[in-house]
Amino acid sequence: MSSPRTDPPTLEAERFLESAERELLDRSIETQQAEWVYATYITPETEALAARANARLIAATVAIAKRAVPLATPDLPGPLARRLRLLRLVLPLVAPSDADEAKELTRIVAALQGAYGRARYRPAGRPDPLPLEELEQILKISRDPAQLADVWTGWHAIGAPMRRDFARYVELGNRGAREVGFPDMGAMWRSKYDMAPDAFAREVDRLWEQVRPFYLSLHTYVRRRLREEYGESVVPRRGPIPAHLLGNMWAQDWVALLPRLAPAGSAPAFDLTALLGQRTTDPVEVVRYAERFFSSLGFDPLPASFWERSMFARPADRDVVCHASAWDLDFVDDLRIKMCIDIDAEDFRVIHHELGHCYYQRAYNHQPFVFRDSAHDGFHEAIGDAIALSVTPEYLVRIGLLDRAPGPEGDLGLLLERALEKVAFLPFGLLIDQWRWKVFAEEIRPEEFNRSWWEMRRRYQGVAPPAPRGEEAFDPGAKYHIPANVPYMRYFLAHILQFQFHRGLVRGAGGDGPLHRRSIYGERAAGERLRQMLSMGMSRPWPEALRALTGEDRMDAGALLEYFAPLRAWLDEQNDGEELGW
């Protein structure tokens, strides 16, 4: 019996995809290699090499996306149709077909990222300019409002020179997006979530409304405690919190305030940073802890090349981009991380997050090239963070960092610490792309970049700059992801999904106890369910991947609210008599 005849449109689509994905893989490897060298050795030459590699990748992507459009006929089998659709969404940036404009756009993107990586500021009284990570340490430690304002203002000044290039990047990026069928870059970014762009915007608004009351409660408590410390002339009774007082350059993480905010009698019973320091842990050993977590779930160890080629510490002889990131240079097993690791609790958890990317990348490396990605980008960010939620006192006992787990009397302190990291982040994670979507849609014009930025930060976060900021500034440029052209909504989604993932995994592992004290360390059954979901990559719509891991097919903040339930009740008591909001 002869085999069924392949439909000509299907055969044409299959041949096109085979050729297109092979070309995109080759170009992507070339670009990853060039960008790795640039990020770990910033010079004008490596910047130019990265720009040229990016230009070639973008040109190939645009050409392939345009050729894919007429092949996407209604009668194609589902997987083929999905691959053709995703070809238009491989990159967050599509250059115009005009060669000069494409070259200009890639130069601008490389220059913006390079300007961020080279940025320094010399605070008052210091002999030398300091990089971002040292400025951040001042914000974490100092309680002098004048010093904090100086450091905050000095770093934010790096954005002003980027303003004109950013406006041109928006213009050229939108032109490229329209050439592949999207009204603007924002619509293109939102189209990667298996729903219409406007429907996705409504979905994130729904998730924010679920968690907003909890954020307001946390904000009100923090504002009151800071007002008690600094006085009402610095921190108002009602109104936004001055951003420079929150212990983080972007007020996206308030963990540095924990010693001043912890409930009486419930301060954390141990200091993970001190525990790591007592064992003279070096950066490589911090990464080994995270690798062993994944090994306990049944995952294979990382390849030897990971340890040989990753960047774990800031080199003394050159400029690098220290921002933590995970890399898959050949889209098979050349896995790496790039990070200037501090031996502290924060980076201990960040390493678990970054290795989550690496294990995800390896799990889907058998898929067709356009499916070698997470179900949606929030999944990629959430996997490692869900693992980090298993960094409980009980886990630290099992790996020998802690002699015994403290009792539940310390839980409020642990939950407050995590809320200052996770819940404080939520509105910032939302507004970064809310602002860019409006910029891309030309609802925000270049002459109102900074004003609109601070209007949105006040509306969502309830924070304000230490002094008025005019349009001569470009404060969005002081946040890495904006000059680096990295979509940010993934982080907001990840901060919702990580709790949903955690709840789904611990439920499958059995046992009992409050959600915030559960860990999946050593749970092979949870590891197998995790592996099955990771291996799907982007081959199926994200609700199917979510169902495979959690049994649910809708993103939901209920797990987050369950996780923090004891803290929410306590905050409500503390805020009695205070006016919520600003």
> Which residues does the annotation mark as catalytic?
323-324, 353-354, 357, 381, 481, 491
Alpha-carbon distance of 90 to 509, in angstroms, equals 35
Alpha-carbon distance of 299 to 14, in angstroms, equals 33
Q: Distance from first CA to last CA of the chain, Å, rounded?
A: 75
Alpha-carbon distance of 108 to 333, in angstroms, equals 31
DSSP 108-152: HHHHHHHHHHH--B--TT-SS-B-HHHHHHHHHH---HHHHHHHH
Phi, psi at residue 241, to the nearest 5°? -85, 135
Q: Which two tokens stand for residue 384?
A: 């490692």
Residue closest to 88 by CA, chosen among 109, 106, 69: 69
Maximum C-alpha span of the chain = 87
Alpha-carbon distance of 572 to 398, in angstroms, equals 35
Phi, psi at residue 251, to the nearest 5°? 55, 30
Cα angle at 483 between 170 and 190, to 5 degrees? 55
Alpha-carbon distance of 391 to 517, in angstroms, equals 9
Beta bridge partners of 337: 326
Residue closest to 527 by CA, chosen among 326, 361, 300, 374: 300
Number of C-beta neighbours around residue 369 at 10 A:
21
